[in-house]
Amino acid sequence: MSKRTWPDKQATDRLEETTAPAVSVGSVEETVVRPDSLERAQASVAAVDVEQTRASVSADLERTRVSIAPADVERTTASIPAGGEAQLPERTLGRYLIIKQLGAGGMGAVFKAYDPDLDRKVAIKLLHGAAVGEARTRLIREAQAMARLSHPNVVPVFDVGAHREDQVFIAMDLVEGTDLRAWIATRRPWTEVVDVFAQAGAGLAAAHAVGLVHRDFKPDNVLLSTDAATGKLRAQVADFGLARRDEEREAAPRPAESGSVSALDTQITRYGAIVGTPAYMSPEQHAGVAVDPRTDQFSFCVALFEALYGKRPFTGATIEELARKARSSQREPPARGSDVPGWLYRLCLRGLQPDREARYPRMDALLHDLQAGRARRQRRVLALGGTLLAAAVAGGTAWAMTGPGVCEGGAARVGEVWHAGRRAAVEAAFTASGLPYAAGAWAGAAALVDRYAEDWKNMYEETCSATQVRGEQSAELMDLRMACLQHRLQDLGALVDLLEHADKQVVKRASEAVVALPGLQRCADVEALRGGASRPSADPARSEALRERLRAGRAKVSAGKAKDALAELTTLATEAAALDDPSLTAATRLALARAQRESGDDQSARVSAAAAVWQAVADRDDETLWDALMQEMFVLGYKLGRKADAQPWSDHAEALLRRRGQPDRERAQWLHQVGMIEIAAGESAAAEAPLQEAIELYEKVHGVDHPRLANLINSLGASKLRGGSYDEARALFERAVAIVEKSHGPTHPELAQPLNNLALSLERQNRYPEAIAAMQRSRAILVAINPQDPMVGLLRQNIGGMLQLSGKPDEALVELAAAQAHLEEALGAEHPALAGVFTFIGDARRDLADYPGARAAYQRGCEIREKALGADHPELGLCLLGQAQVDLLERRPADALEHVDRALKNVADATSDPGDLGLMHLARAQALRATGAEAEAVTAARAAREALTRAGAAGQRGIQQLDAWEAGR
């Protein structure tokens, strides 16, 4: 038996691998090559006789044999990961003549060598440990890919080969100079740091462009030399020995060891394990999952932060601690008095986001901001030169106007709208309503207003500081952001005005009204602010007057007083269109659509929302466009159940999402609507994935106990309930109940929906007393507030159904008769909600052997649903099943087969409750046998048993009927 569920009331807005065992090392960071540059080597070779060069090489080789002391060898092998063994080459390595060892570390040893074929000196890296089979092929393939990469900020790779058949070596350019680690050991001006890192970043970007990810970017792997042509410092990224193609995947990872061994700089390089230096590794590297170019971006920003501030953004003594801090969003603040501009700190923070999606999309984008900030600084310095004298004469007035104090007025500004006096007035209005849940409603709404006000203050001060203090934002952009914030503050003021004079309806919807306030995110969206309507109103004073009325109207709709606002918003839409204000017309049409929808006029709502869509497209108003698209999806797809008609609007919204970079908040709203449309179409299984993702995104944006989550969780629970996952459904409904109780109090009417659905999940597990108790609590909450509420009738309907299932058909009929009378008075005799009542009346009369009465009730239920939903809708399944069951009881198997076949056809493409589906197959088996189709009856009986078994406790009664029927053949 399926009862009425409320899926949602719809708020109106909306490390590549695993860690190898850590090894104690003598030198905690890998030694990096510092050879000559290719240009120097070539110039040197050209200047001397070949024989003379070879003699020099021979002398170098002789010196090498006596210069490598046992202690040096021990120090080299001490950093080899477990399972690898350093095998020093003899005089030759392939065609190369070894001159001397330059260094060694966790990955391998580096040698200076001579290439007799090309008559030049090179650096050769011999990787530690045996590399055979797939590992050897992989390393060679990656080195070959690097050999095809030519960029001035990447150390060129010339060749790759094997030593003793199982050790891979890489031949590369010999760069004379130092490395970035040594360079930043001396504090440098931030401008010099930016210049050097911009070069290193360009090298990474070049590698990313050919599909390579470095995976071990750190200061040691950036070589610095003096460019012979320009005399300037040149940075080159080296040591791509860990690099791999972006699209490739590695072998299955092994779990990380998190012992107390110091892991700050340990080089982890074993194949099939986490790869990288833990102090610079991204969360995805620590987690052992696939990497991409944004992984290098994280490491780059760790190194940049370290170079700018003399410390890393997070530290730890063990790999486990480093991994935990990398996953956290907490980063070290700059030291007080640092001269590094704030925009550089924020650039680093973006690149250091634990979630890759929150970082820059590409290295190129990060470099663009790095260079743009540097250019802004240069322009300000030039401008300052012309005003220095005037500033000195002014005696510091310029500093007083642009210093931090000028941006500390956010609290005062928002305090004009939300202050202690207004809080007291709002609380008094809530108390005066006399509602039993007024205290809980006030507490929930006040917390949400406090949060909105605090967020507004913070954004105001940040917007001001970006221009007036840090000079990283133009005055034009500050003006756009401040105008947006001013509109948001006026929206808050309009809502507080309404709350200050709250009646019962406003108290009930107070939290929803605050949640529905226009979000502050758009005031930080540069693209949206600059891309909006630019044509000014012909009559600005008139436009502002209309906006003030619009704010009041929207607040009323959000607070549940849509009918009160409908006439005013209709007039406003007409006046805005006549005024021809491009930034106002779409907004008034959208507000009107919301009012029409909340007033029950869905057809008018979809027309108004469509008009808002096209006006917003014309005005380039993405914010209104988005909200209007959500309106169309909800009204057409969910309320009217027209999935196909809603699809173009959904596609439009998805395209807008892609263009806007898939912001979490908007994607969650879209997924929510997609899931609800699937539920309305009877496809609950298809709804689960979008609803689950929407919940995760909302938790990320709003937190795990935000009021908006209750509806989503309730919706997912309804989907699980329909699909037969009763335990999961019960857990979801219990969570929804807990969220509503926390945000609204224990007697708020918002509890009715999740309590009703919790009762249904308990009923499916044959826990009838608990189910009826939950339903009665829900009913008591609503009756105490409004005895005429239609939901009271729906609750009485479900209580009646549970009484029937628990073997009390007489008591059930009393409740069902009361439910019928209540719903007919509240909604009218033809409302689809009545169909469920008649189906349950049929069940009770069937149990009392009143077959004519049962048939009439089932037929009436089917008639109402067919008129509202169409003849093929899945919701007709149960009333058709009821008619088939009465047909069988009255020995009319042919009629029973016709009814049950139609029921099965209707639910064929929907996610049906397995218990209901099992009863349909059982009725079909009985009808087939009675008509002589024995083989088909056996097949139907098998399908019935499978579905009823899947239903768990809810299918036990059906299985007992099936067993008895089969035993009586």
| Single-letter residue type at 923 | A
Name the nearest CA neighbour of 249 among 272, 267, 228: 272
Beta bridge partners of 808: none
Give the span between the Cα atoms of 834 and 534, in whole angstroms: 51
93 vs 108: CA distance, rounded Å: 14
| Residue 59 burial (C-beta neighbours within 10 Å; 0-12, 13-18, 19+) | exposed
SS (H, E, C) 746-779: CCCHHHHHHHHHHHHHHHCCCCHHHHHHHHHHHH
d(CA 316, CA 262): 9
Query: Active site includes 705?
Result: no
Element (H, E) at 792: helix 790-805
Can you read off the two tokens belonging to residue 184?
């930043």
The CA dihedral of 354, 355, 356, 357, to the nearest 10 degrees, is: -150
Spatial distance between the Cα atoms of 218 and 303, rounded to a whole number of angstroms = 6
CA–CA separation, 869 vs 832, rounded Å?
A: 8
In whole angstroms, what is the distance from residue 345 CA to residue 190 CA?
11
Paired tokens of 97: 């003549």
Query: 216, 220, 491, 913: which one is catalytic?
Result: 216
700 is in an annotated binding site: no
Cα within 13 Å of Cα(561), Cβ side? 22
Helix (H, G, I), strand (E, B) or coil at 408: coil
SS3 content of the chain, % helix, strand, coil (to 5): 65, 5, 30
- Does residue 322 contact residue 263 with C-beta atoms inside 8 Å? yes
How far does the chain reach from its first CA to its final CA, in angstroms? 26
Contact predicate 488/517, CB 8 Å? yes
At residue 62, what is the residue type?
E
- Helices and strands counted in the chain (H then E): 40, 11
Where would I find the beta strands (DSSP E) of 35-166? 92-93, 96-104, 108-115, 120-127, 157-163
* Binding residue positions: 125
Q: Which of the residues are catalytic?
A: 216
* Binding residue positions for ATP: 125
